[in-house]
Amino acid sequence: MEVVPLPLKVHIKLDELIKERGISQRELSRLTGIRQPSINKMCNNTTQRLPLDNLGIICEVLKIDIADILVLVNESK
């Protein structure tokens, strides 16, 4: 019998993380050098690509681990 994988999706928790720290998307953009529209797409989970360099810069600026920003969510729930 074949096991069918659950529909998992990568969720970016950036919006939650910046709200916890009390900074805006604009401020994160200034601190990281990443364009504000790109930050906005990550916060809204509408980005189609996530450059690893950007992810690394965000983790460094927010002093977090990559596991703190990316999570797998079950789409069927």
Q: Where are the domains of the chain?
A: 8-74
Candidate CATH numbers 1.10.260.40, 3.40.50.150, 3.30.70.420, 3.30.1360.70; the one for domain 8-74: 1.10.260.40
Instruction: State pLDDT tens for residues 36-77.
Output: 999 999 999 999 899 999 999 999 999 999 999 999 988 775
Whether the CB-CB separation of 45 and 12 falls below 8 Å is answered with: yes
The per-residue pLDDT for range 6-30, each reduced to its tens digit, is: 788 899 999 999 999 999 999 999 9
Query: What whole-number distance in Å separates Cα of residue 15 and Cα of residue 25?
Result: 8
Residue 32: what residue type?
Answer: T
Q: Which amino acid is at 59?
A: C
Two tokens, residue 57: 């810069």
